Structure 1
Amino acid sequence: MKRLLLYSALVFLLGCKKPDDSLGPLEGIYDGTFQRGGSVPCQVTITFEPQGRYTGTVNSVSSSGSLCPLISKGTFSTSGRVITFQDETTWPTTADKSLILTGEFGTEIRSGKLVLIKNDDLYILAFR
């Protein structure tokens, strides 16, 4: 009887889930890659803190042909399937501002990984 009730509750909960559900609370350490267009991916780490803050690093720079992001620290928020980053770093004037992790990114979950998409930028991140 307990199994039947548990199974019924699980079916009900799964049946109520909408395909466009929000990300919900996002926190923890995520490792993965950043790639722009067809360039060689760079290894990155982004830490999402429960207070809506993030920090990040570029762990390794691939050889020729790679464009690596500029990730440091700032705030983030989620709304539906969109995550918005607000960078708080003062970057040198020579830095390519288009590579800064800032602005709105669409999100997907692919094979258990968090995917962030903005124009030609693609982050594929796995929870550590």
Structure 2
Amino acid sequence: MNIFQQREKIIEDLITACKDHDEEKTNHLLNQLTELDKTAEQKPLPEEPKELGFYVTANDGLLLLKDVDDDWSARTCYNSANHTIWNGDSQYVKWPTVCETLPPEAFPLKRVNTGDGNDD
């Protein structure tokens, strides 16, 4: 579960606790949310690959593309204008969004040899 999913779950539980007037649970969830944010701030981003081209994630083989603008896109059958994997539903994102969206086990990314002669 990535950090956004963890936050979403805590916030859902927090809303329920507030509606139930459960002060103890509300305080506990607020502390969890604060600790989650501290952890996210302290954890450095994985190193961004320098070369342009295709990469796969280490955990599930999701195909990503780094383009000439240093933008990243996911190349999946679900990737369209109406559905993307990135938070905010953008088709192209910068490296910090890639790191925030994918789970830690997705890194390091592995470069794919496309056979076009431009691969290292």
Question: Could you say whether these structures have the same fold, taking a TM-score greater than 0.5 normalized by the shorter chain as the test?
Answer: no
TM-score for the superposition, normalised by structure 1:
0.28
Q: 1 or 2, which has the higher strand percentage?
A: 1
Relative contact order: is structure 1 or structure 2 higher (C-alpha 8 Å, sep ≥ 6)?
Answer: 2
